[in-house]
Amino acid sequence: MTNRHHLFAGMLAMLPLMVGVLPFGLLFGTLAVNAGLTGWQGFGMSAIVFAGSAQFIGVTLLASGVSVPVLLATTLVINLRHVLYSASVQPGVQHWPRRWRWLLSFMLTDELFAVFNLRLQNHGGGADTRWFLLGNSIAMYGTWLASTVLGIVLGQQIPDLSHWGLEFAMVATFAAIVGTQLTQHSMVAAALAAGAGAMLLRGMPYKLDLILASLAGIVAGLLAERLPARTVTEVQP
Residues 58-77 contacting another protein, CB under 8 A: 58, 62, 68, 71-72, 74-77
Cα(52)–Cα(71) distance, integer angstroms = 15
# of chain residues touching another protein (CB under 8 A): 84
Cα(4)–Cα(1) distance, integer angstroms = 8
By CB under 8 A, the residues from 23 to 52 that bind another protein are: 23, 37, 41, 44-45, 48-51
Q: In degrees rounded to 5, what are phi and psi of residue 42?
A: -60, -45
Q: From the list 1, 83, 229, 232, which residue makes contact with another protein (rule: CB under 8 A)?
A: 83
By CB under 8 A, the residues from 168 to 187 that bind another protein are: 168-183, 186-187
Q: From the list 85, 116, 131, 132, which residue makes contact with another protein (rule: CB under 8 A)?
A: 85
> Judged by CB, which is closer to another protein: 5, or 80?
80
**61 near 74, Cβ under 8 Å?**
yes
By CB under 8 A, the residues from 190 to 219 that bind another protein are: 190-191, 193-195, 197-199, 202, 209-210, 213-218
Helices (H) and strands (E) counted in the chain, each on its own, are 11, 0
CB within 8 A of 116, min separation 6: which ones? 89, 104, 108, 132, 133, 136
Taking the complex as a whole, how short is the minimal distance between the CB of residue 159 and another protein, in angstroms? 19
Taking the complex as a whole, how short is the minimal distance between the CB of residue 232 and another protein, in angstroms? 18
Q: Which stretch binds another protein (CB under 8 A): 7-15, 53-61, 130-138, 139-147?
A: 53-61
**145 near 43, Cβ under 8 Å?**
yes
Q: Which stretch binds another protein (CB under 8 A): 2-10, 54-62, 133-141, 152-160?
A: 54-62
For residue 222, state whether it binds another protein (rule: CB under 8 A).
yes
Q: What angle do CA 75, 77, 79 make, to 5 degrees?
A: 65
Cα(5)–Cα(128) distance, integer angstroms = 9
Cα(137)–Cα(146) distance, integer angstroms = 14
> Judged by CB, which is closer to another protein: 13, or 193?
193
